[in-house]
Structures are given as structure tokens and as C-alpha cells.
Chain A
Amino acid sequence: MPNFHHRRRTDVVAGQQGTNMLDKLASALDFDRQALGLRFERQKVLAGNIANADTPDFKARDFDFSRALAQATARDGSHGQLAMTTTSAGHLGGAASGSGAAPEMLYRVPDQPSLDGNTVNMDVERAAFADNTVRYETSLSLINTRIRNLKAAMQSEQG
């Protein structure tokens, strides 16, 4: 009977270590996950710009990737807590849970105004699209490398 009790306790301890390890695994991949997610988000925005190249009064959008990534990782660093900005002494501080807020969308500055109010410059959009694709794939291969490294660290030595 004491033997059984003892075995159960070690099981519980191992279980706790297991969740900690999963947390670490998740946080090891978190930066790349955020980067990949934002790259995909940008890809959608650029695809939308290209799709609307002939739509009257359409304004091309984009967002500052590095700033969005900094914001996303800062948010995740505080475990999904959104810090409230206080701009006046009378404001209450606070934190709301949840992440995944959309990046701040900006308007592209048109270099050649067109008569129909459309600000899509096809060359700019296509160059940005190609650039974003390569960077997405870079993020992807970085994640792949990280996963491979983690897997290698988990393998036993005999293999």
C-alpha cells in the first residue's frame, strides 16, 4: 500500500513537469507564430489591394509589420493581457485579457493621384506582395528549423 501511494505521487509530479515543458515549447515557438500570423495578415491586405486595383475610390491599405510584431509580442509577453494606455491623470489603469487584436491599418500615400480616387499602385503592391511572400517563407523555414531542433533535443542519444 505505501508503495502504491508513493508511485502515485511521482506520477503527479511528472504530470506537472509535463505542462511546464509544454508551456516552454509553446513560448519557444510563439515569436515565430506571431510573425507568421502577421505575414499572412499582410498577404491578405496586399491581395485585397491588388484585387481592388480598378475599383473607384478604393484606398490602398497596409500596416507597419515591425511595429505590429513588436505590439503582438509585447502583448504576448504579458500572457495575453492588453495593458490600458493612460493619457490623462484621471484615467484608470487596467488590463483586459485576450490577444489577437488586428494590426493598426494605415493608408498608402499615393505617388500618382488618379482621377477616380483609387490609390492602388500596381507596381508597389506587386513588389510588396513578392517581398511578403519571401518573408513568409523565411518565417516558415525558421519555424521548421526550430521544430527540428526541439525534436532533436527530445530524441534519445542511442538512436
Chain B
Amino acid sequence: MFSIFQISGSAMQAQSQRMNVAASNLANADSVAGPDGQPYRAKQVVFEARGRDGSAGVGVSKVVEDATPLRREYRPGDPNADDQGYVSLPNVKPVEEMVNMIEASRSYQANVEVLNTSKQMMTKTLTLGEG
């Protein structure tokens, strides 16, 4: 009976995780060195339908790192520059991340709407036979 809440809830969780990752990518768009000393690589979430034909909602199956080559910039004076004077910068594409963020936000809203509508439906169902 309450599986709609589970379906929409899982989608909201997945979309907010996607938003988290987009935020992390944007925040680290210029992080020349991460904890491992390497430049930050953009991360992307991979969605996966749960249950038979998505009947149990959606989930994040994995978070993958973007394998595209890092951005290289000529900054001879930078302490992180290599012997040719180039600095490796993260491969985050801010425009793509913004699009990702907007899409995640819209999908989240759609699922909130589904949740609210279903909640009203359930509440009305609870009063069945009273009127």
C-alpha cells in the first residue's frame, strides 16, 4: 500500500545524491590537488532501476570518475607546474554540471509532487466509508 512513498522516496534520494555530486564537482572545479596529490576528477552518478521494471523505484548503482583527460594550462610560475610549465586542472565542465544540477532539481520536484499527491490519495482512502 505504501510502496508509492518508497518509489518516490528512492527517486528523491537518488536525485539529491546526483545534486550532491554536481555540487562537489562545481566546488572542486579548480582543485589542483586533492588529498592524494592528484587533481580532482569530475564524478558522475549512475542510476539503476530497482525491482522488476522499476517497480521499486530507482537507486544510485555507482559513482564513476570522469575519464576524460585533465585540463592543462600553461602557468610556468605555479609550484604545481611540470617541467614544461603546464599545470593539470580538474576535468570538471561547469556548464554540464549546471545542467545536471537543474535537471536533478526538476526531477526531484516531480517526485515530491508524486509523493504529495499520493499522500492526499492515501488520506482520502483512510476516510473510506465515513461519509
Number of B residues, CB within 8 Å of A:
36
Interface of A, secondary structure class, is helix
Other A-B pairs, 10, CB within 8 Å; known A51-B54, A52-B58, A56-B46:
A48-B56, A50-B8, A51-B7, A51-B114, A52-B47, A55-B49, A61-B53, A137-B121, A137-B124, A143-B128
Q: Which of A47, A58, A148 has the most CB of B within 10 A?
A: A47
A67 at the binding interface (Cβ < 8 Å):
no
Determine whether the beta carbon of A144 is less than 8 Å from that of B129: yes
Determine whether the beta carbon of A61 is less than 8 Å from that of B54: yes
B111 at the binding interface (Cβ < 8 Å):
yes
B84 at the binding interface (Cβ < 8 Å):
no
Interface residues of B (CB under 8 A from A): 1, 3-4, 7-8, 10-11, 14-15, 18, 46-49, 51, 53-58, 103-104, 107, 110-111, 113-114, 117-118, 121, 124-125, 128-129, 131
Give B131's nearest chain A residue, CB to CB. Answer: A144
Chain B residues near A122 (CB, 8 Å)? 110
B103 touches which one: A44, A54, A61 (CB < 8 A)? A54
Interface residues of A (CB under 8 A from B): 40, 43-56, 58-59, 61, 105, 122, 126, 129-130, 133, 136-137, 140, 143-144, 147-148
A48 touches which one: B15, B55, B113 (CB < 8 A)? B55
B114 touches which one: A50, A59, A140, A147 (CB < 8 A)? A50
Determine whether the beta carbon of A58 is less than 8 Å from that of B114: no
Determine whether the beta carbon of B121 is less than 8 Å from that of A136: yes
B8 touches which one: A51, A136, A137, A140 (CB < 8 A)? A51
Determine whether the beta carbon of B131 is less than 8 Å from that of A51: no
Give A141's nearest chain B residue, CB to CB. Answer: B131
Determine whether the beta carbon of B55 is less than 8 Å from that of A44: yes
**Distance to closest chain A CB from B40 (angstroms):** 24
How far apart are the CA atoms of A95 and B90 in the complex, in Å?
Answer: 66
**Distance to closest chain B CB from A83 (angstroms):** 26
Determine whether the beta carbon of A140 is less than 8 Å from that of B111: no
